[in-house]
Structure 1
Amino acid sequence: MSHGKIREEKTCLNCGHQVEERFCPHCGQENIESRHPFYYLFTHFIEDFTHYDGQFWGTLKNLMFKPGALTNTYLAGKRQKFVPPVKLYIFVSFITFFVFALFPLMNINYNSKKDNEKQNKKSIFDKMKALDAQKIVDSIKAKPVLTKEDSVTIKSLGVLPDSSKIDDLENAFEMDKKIDTGAQYGGYKTRKSYDSAAAKNPSAFDFIKSPLAHKFFELKEKGVTKAEIAKSLTETSFHNLPKALFIYLPLFAFFLWIFHNKKKWWYFDHGIFTLHYFSFLLLNVLFVFLIVKLASLTDIGILNSILNLVLCALLIYIIAYFFIAHRRVYHTHGVVSFIIGGMLFTLNFFAFMVLVIGLALVSFLMIH
């Protein structure tokens, strides 16, 4: 643990008891000098989280490669061997979102159309327009004899949109533009007309629809651009995500409680499993993020192929991890464990999607 110098005095500074060795037998405080060099602040911080005695790295090793091992060890009463579940989750969560903040996956900085023209860069819409599907189809049909390959080409080109549709799509994605004055919400162009219609025909969902409509008209009146909305929505969602995940933890444990024996398993036990599993998820989400980020920075074909394979393997392992950990912790039979695990996985997937949608709605309402 610490490498501080042991005090010559044998009286504990914390509780006053006699200290024969390095640690006080009464309160556990280390009997070392209380004044240190400045760099000690940083080394002590690292030691507190990594525990050079192997506790931290042993915890990460078991978390990543031994599904359910940490939970089984903790519930068996061996609680000094690894980092406590709550501390582990907080630390992994802090590191994950700190890295997200340092290296954002998307930079929402949109140049105006004139700036793009100055840079002489073709957008994806320009490339789609350049691929004039109708002209290619007409040239193929002009042939005296059509081959099998020609038929396949015509079918594949048939799914491409025409130029007018591409123009509409491009206009929709022009992020430097403001919300169009003719834009509507639910068929209404102004807040006054919407409120009037809502008062005449009240709905059970007005508590959700009305705030969204009011925010839409507010942003429209302020002349906020699409880029500003997208940027604010992304930033607000990012700041709210850790809170949303923390709120979801007890719900995940509750689903586990529903599907397992109430006498054998306490809600506390499910909470420990949840903390370990979410720590694993956050850590692997960080790995996925870094792989995607690295792939976006390189144009080397072989390297990208390797990264994509690693990414696919990691995503498969993330899904399989839950089923393995669930079986090892709850000691259910193979088929029963798979069925219960599948139901839990599906239930949590839909519940989490509801949480994500709710987070997006809240984030939209928080845009200024």
Structure 2
Amino acid sequence: MAHHAAHKQPACANCHYQFEPARPDEFCPRCGQQNHAIDLRVGHVVEEFLEGVFHFDGKVFSTARLLLFKPGELTRRFLAGHRVPYVPPIRLYVFISFVFFLLLGWVAGHSTDEGTAHARPVRRGFVYNMNTDSLTARPAKQPFFSINIGGDSLDSGAGYRVPLSNDSVLRARDLARLPDHASSRQVDSLIRSKGATPTYFSRLRVSRYLRWRNASPDETAHVAIRTASILLFLLMPLAALLLQATYRRQRRYYLGHLIFTIHLHCVLFVLLMLGLLTDELGLTSVSTWLPLLILPYFVLALRRVYEQGWGKTLLKATLLALAYLLLLVLGTLLGTVLGVVIF
């Protein structure tokens, strides 16, 4: 990025190369260091910081204008070869998704911060009482889910059971005997106490139970955010495959469909961010419908990029949306399982 507002020096501050008059002096031809004094404006320093971290430059404004207000135009220009004036798709996705998940993490933490005087009330978990068969609100500093049996509270998942090889099971009251960081020997000993042989899956279920039985809302939200970020990133190539299958007669390269998908996800993140912000401001009615704007945006973008009539575009948009929704549901289920098992 060229910093024309910075004060130029007659010689390189690093290797003392003397710049020649009427010759380019933005960078030193000997060592490559950028030629500007250290006494920079605050705005200039912020610009350099953003450039260093996110490769942010003046292209972002022209990119944002096309991305947000002309559905499909940014993709169309990229595919036509006009790439220099705009932020590359992957770099754009990394920046926007980073800001989105950072904001999501802040909102999740803010909503569960009891020290904030004006924080909105949230459901921070439940206590299940087997005597009355009822759920009651869990105090904030207790485990996320617990069971109450005969007045004695056991930190566990409601109805959680670990099937064993001899048709017996480990129940909540059995698992409550284990400490949070039980050793493999303690886990195996508990399993053998039921007359069963420890297996990989029985050990895994016990260890995951111990990992999550005292999980706080903040910890649960953190894992959910990590899982969601990975899930959405992995869904993009699959969504591009759906586009390629839908528009196979146009014989476009897969990369073009992928660029379209990346731009679409970037817009989705922006709408979700606006939804989070408006919800934090108490504009619940606005935050509810904002993310739904992705649907008309999707139709307009398909129409502009793939240049088909409104009838075909609406039909294909509907089929693609349903297929993507199915992928999202399956991916969410798989991501939830992996999130619990891995994280």
Deviation of 1:338 (Å): 1.1
Question: What CA distance in whole angstroms lies between the structure 2 residues aligned with 1:214 and 1:89?
Answer: 39
Question: What CA distance in whole angstroms lies between the structure 1 residues aligned with 2:212 and 2:229?
Answer: 27
Question: What CA distance in whole angstroms lies between the structure 2 residues aligned with 1:195 and 1:338?
Answer: 61
Q: Contact 1:68–1:324 at 8 Å: present in 2 too?
A: yes
Structure of higher CA gyration radius: 1
Question: What CA distance in whole angstroms lies between the structure 2 residues aligned with 1:219 and 1:35?
Answer: 53
2:311 alignment counterpart: 335
2:332 alignment counterpart: 356
Question: What CA distance in whole angstroms lies between the structure 2 residues aligned with 1:268 and 1:73?
Answer: 14
- TM normalised by structure 2 equals 0.68
Deviation of 1:348 (Å): 0.9
Question: What CA distance in whole angstroms lies between the structure 2 residues aligned with 1:105 and 1:320?
Answer: 32
2:96 alignment counterpart: 92
Question: What CA distance in whole angstroms lies between the structure 2 residues aligned with 1:43 and 1:290?
Answer: 25
Between the two structures, name the one with larger relative contact order (CA 8 Å, sep ≥ 6): 1
Write the mapping of 1:119-268 to structure 2, written as runs, cut at 5 A: 167-170=132-135, 176=143, 177=146, 178-179=155-156, 183-185=160-162, 189-190=169-170, 211=201, 214-218=203-207, 222=210, 226-228=213-215, 231-261=218-248, 264-268=251-255
Say if 1:98 and 1:21 are closer, same or farther in 2 by CA, change over 3 A: same
The one-letter code sitting in structure 1 at the alignment partner of 2:161 is: Q
> Which consecutive unaligned segments of at least 5 residues does structure 2 have?
115-120, 147-154, 171-190
More helix by share: 1
- Find out whether 1:323 has 2:299 as its counterpart: yes
Deviation of 1:108 (Å): 5.4
Specify the SS of the correspondent of 2:133.
Answer: helix
Say if 1:47 and 1:218 are closer, same or farther in 2 by CA, change over 3 A: closer
Question: What CA distance in whole angstroms lies between the structure 2 residues aligned with 1:192 and 1:357?
Answer: 32
Q: Contact 2:208–2:340 at 8 Å: present in 1 too?
A: no
Give CA deviations for 1:317-364 in whole Å, capped at 9, x if unaligned.
Answer: 122211111111111111111111111111111111111111111111
Identity %: 19
The one-letter code sitting in structure 1 at the alignment partner of 2:156 is: I
The one-letter code sitting in structure 1 at the alignment partner of 2:133 is: D
2:23 alignment counterpart: 20
Q: Contact 1:56–1:83 at 8 Å: present in 2 too?
A: yes
Question: What CA distance in whole angstroms lies between the structure 2 residues aligned with 1:234 and 1:215?
Answer: 22
Give CA deviations for 1:291-342 in whole Å, capped at 9, x if unaligned.
Answer: 22222xxxxxxxxxxx234224413312221111111111111111111111
Q: Contact 2:7–2:36 at 8 Å: present in 1 too?
A: yes
- Find out whether 1:75 has 2:55 as its counterpart: no
Write the mapping of 1:260-339 to structure 2, written as runs, cut at 5 A: 260-261=247-248, 264-295=251-282, 307-339=283-315
2:8 to 3, 6, 9: 6
> Which consecutive unaligned segments of at least 5 residues does structure 1 have?
111-120, 125-163, 200-209, 296-306
- Find out whether 1:33 has 2:40 as its counterpart: no
Say if 1:358 and 1:287 are closer, same or farther in 2 by CA, change over 3 A: same
Q: Contact 2:299–2:313 at 8 Å: present in 1 too?
A: yes
Specify the SS of the correspondent of 2:330.
Answer: helix
Question: What CA distance in whole angstroms lies between the structure 1 residues aligned with 2:86 and 2:216?
Answer: 44
RMSD over aligned CA atoms reads 4.3
Q: Contact 1:233–1:360 at 8 Å: present in 2 too?
A: no
